Amino acid sequence: MGSKRIHKKEDKKFRDFLYLDNKPDSPAKFYYIAIRWARKNSTLKPRQIEALFFMHDLEFFTCQWLGKQLKVSYFQTKDKLIGPLVRDGYLFKYFDRRAVGYEDDSMWFRDENRFNYRVRYSLTQKSKLFIAKMYRIMAGDTKVETDYDESTIAKDRPDKSKGGPRKVKKKRLKGFEDSPLGKKIISNQNAYRQHETASQEQHPREE
């Protein structure tokens, strides 16, 4: 089946962008900005932030159940998701084995009792506020300023006002001869020429 023909709006071709006529709802339109804000303002990793989105509407949950829902192994869920989130104050123990008392006779008729009780976790207020703000950022209701991380800025780029390179062509940089890399390239080129000259002198071409 062929592709559907697109009617291009020629009168709009000088605009920077144009929304669709039947623009769909996009509550996560600014997810890129939201995740950058979250990484900058917390120590969480992307997988942990995404797990919080799944947890935000739950009263409580167990580690085993969460792993099955996210298709992650028990140990990955415990060590990579729940453990760091508890240490950073985003999750707390909603029920632990102390919630089942010795006087509770019903525990003897259950597969789960005080001695093998699985901890139930829940989101803290800090976590709920964090996710709520991310939702507002993604929807565009809250504007935030995000700067580039220092590690993404090219610090070694030479200053053009100080005679840095102007253009790159076949590994030759104008104004780059005095740099360590430039000296190394020139040295290798001179050595190659000397080797070629010596080789031609030892083995002159017969006419």
Residue 4 placed within a domain: no
Phi, psi (deg, nearest 5) at residue 102:
-65, -25
Q: Could you tell me how far CA 59 lies from the centroid of its own chain? A: 28
What is the CATH number for 80?
A: 1.10.10.10
Output the tens digit of pLDDT for each of the chain's 207 residues. 455 666 777 777 777 777 777 777 778 888 888 888 888 888 899 899 999 999 999 999 999 999 999 999 999 999 999 999 999 999 999 888 776 666 666 666 667 766 677 889 999 999 999 999 999 999 888 888 776 655 555 555 555 665 555 554 455 555 566 677 777 888 888 888 888 888 777 766 554
Q: Do residue 144 and residue 185 come from a single domain?
A: no
Residue 2 placed within a domain: no
Q: Could you tell me how far CA 82 lies from the centroid of its own chain? A: 19
User: Which domain-ending residue is among 126, 148, 170?
Assistant: 148
Q: How far is CA 58 from CA 21, 54, 84, 123, 205, in A?
A: 37, 8, 19, 8, 85
Q: Do residue 42 and residue 144 come from a single domain?
A: yes
Q: Do residue 79 and residue 166 come from a single domain?
A: no
Residue 179 placed within a domain: yes
Strand 120-123, strand 61-62: pairing: antiparallel
Considering only the C-alpha atoms of the chain, give the largest distance between any 2 of them, rounded to a whole number of Å: 110
- 116 is in which domain, residue-wise? 26-148
Closest CA to 66 of 54, 50, 84: 54
Report the C-alpha gap between 71 and 85 in whole angstroms.
Answer: 18
Q: Do residue 165 and residue 139 come from a single domain?
A: no
Number of domains in the chain: 2
Q: Do residue 196 and residue 133 come from a single domain?
A: no
Q: Do residue 84 and residue 183 come from a single domain?
A: no
pTM: 0.60
Q: Do residue 40 and residue 139 come from a single domain?
A: yes
